[in-house]
Amino acid sequence: MRELTVREKVLLGACIGAIFIVVNGFAARSILKNLSGGDGEIRSLRSQLADHEMRLEDAPAAEAREKWLIEMMPRLGNSTLGKEQGDLLQALQDECFERKLTIERQSLQEIEYNNFYTEVAVRLEIKGDEAVVTEWLTTLQGPEKFQVIKNLEIELDLRSREPEPQAECEITVAKWFVPDSSGVSPAETDKESSGEQG
């Protein structure tokens, strides 16, 4: 085997150097890819940690709210959801009558079963003096009532010939009750029992 010339040694060194650079480039790229994925994971973990710390700080207030809800949220007792829905509609009708608001349409909404509450709701379309409608809307919600406005559309009736501005209001009002202990709606119970029989 003959000895390499100076030119051949330079070319061999350049080849080995190029191979070394390419291998190191691939290794560096792989390492940087892993590190950048780690940065995203670190950011995600920091965000989760901040969220958990915030919940931990809020825990006493959350416990107080939960205790208040347990004590104050209405229970059905001997009543039924259908009766409570009818009572809600009757109460809203009485309030409208007292304020001389006209109910143009009314309907009962489907009962909703959630983990934290059971909801009955009614939908009304009413018409009357704008100031009276606005004042009535302010009375509908309150912490002790467990009543919420789920949907509200109100507009001025520009065609009215009344001396006072008239408003047309479409509103859905819901009332919340302590959920059924099973947490399952009667419809779901019927489906499960018919599925078990079939």
Match 């078990």 to its residue by tokens: 196
Write the DSSP assignment of 60-111 as a string of letters. HHHHHHHHHHHHHS---TT--HHHHHHHHHHHHHHHHHHTT-EEEEEEEPPP
What H or E segment, with its residue span, contains residue 6? helix 6-72
Task: Report pLDDT for 97.
Answer: 95
> Are the C-beta atoms of 72 and 144 separated by less than 8 Å?
yes
pLDDT for 180 equals 67
The structure tokens listed for 71 are 């004590």
In the prediction, which pLDDT does 192 show? 45
How far CA 85 is from CA of 21, 67, 116, 177, in Å, comes to 77, 26, 18, 11
pLDDT on residue 184: 47
Calpha distance 121→85 (Å, rounded)? 7
Blockwise average pLDDT, block size 10, the chain, 198 residues: 81 88 86 72 85 85 85 85 92 94 93 89 93 92 88 85 85 89 47 47
Q: How do residues 115-148 score in pLDDT, each as one tens digit?
A: 888 899 999 999 999 999 999 999 998 888 899 9
0.75 exceeded by pTM? no
